[in-house]
Amino acid sequence: MKGADAEDRAEAHLRALGREIVARNYRIPGGEIDLVTRDGDVLVFTEVRQRRQETHGSAAESVTPRKLALMRRAALTYLVRELGRDDVPCRLEVLAIDGAADSGTITLIPLDG
């Protein structure tokens, strides 16, 4: 499963940045958050995208406005269901891997503050 390989590499990368992994593949009907991490006092919701080749665009370019809306909804659901509140400091980001999951270039892209 190439998606799992990309998520494994993303998790290792985020750990190396000092992040604590809180959850992986948090699912709600119609949406999913690949990784939930803690960066200090901030909860970070990460979408992992990987593209072997750029024939159809980069990994980051594969994140559509619809996907962003689903991510926001899943993040809000996580906050309310798992933490019982929606006022926790948090942010969304995309971790893009361009190239092979195990060796491609990683780019972290913050989506909002």
Q: Name the domain count of the chain.
A: 1
- pLDDT at residue 1 greater than cutoff 50: no
Give residue 2's pLDDT band: very low, low, confident or very high (50, 70, 90).
low
The pLDDT of 35-50, averaged and rounded, is 96
Average pLDDT over every residue of 77-90: 94
Q: Do residues 99 and 90 make contact, with C-beta atoms less than 8 angstroms apart?
A: no
Segments forming the whole domain that contains residue 40 = 2-110
CATH code for the domain of 66: 3.40.1350.10
d(CA 110, CA 92): 6
* Mean pLDDT within 91-109: 94
Non-local CB neighbours of 91 within 8 Å, separated by 6+ positions: 42, 43, 44, 45, 110, 111, 112, 113
State the pLDDT confidence band at 3, using cuts at 50, 70 and 90: confident
Model confidence, pTM: 0.92
Mean pLDDT over each residue of the chain, to the nearest integer = 92
- Residue 22 predicted with pLDDT over 80: yes
Q: What is the mean pLDDT of residues 88-99?
A: 95
Instruction: Return left, alpha or beta for 57; rule: phi > 0 is left, psi -120 to 50 is alpha, else beta.
Output: left
pLDDT at 113 over 70: no
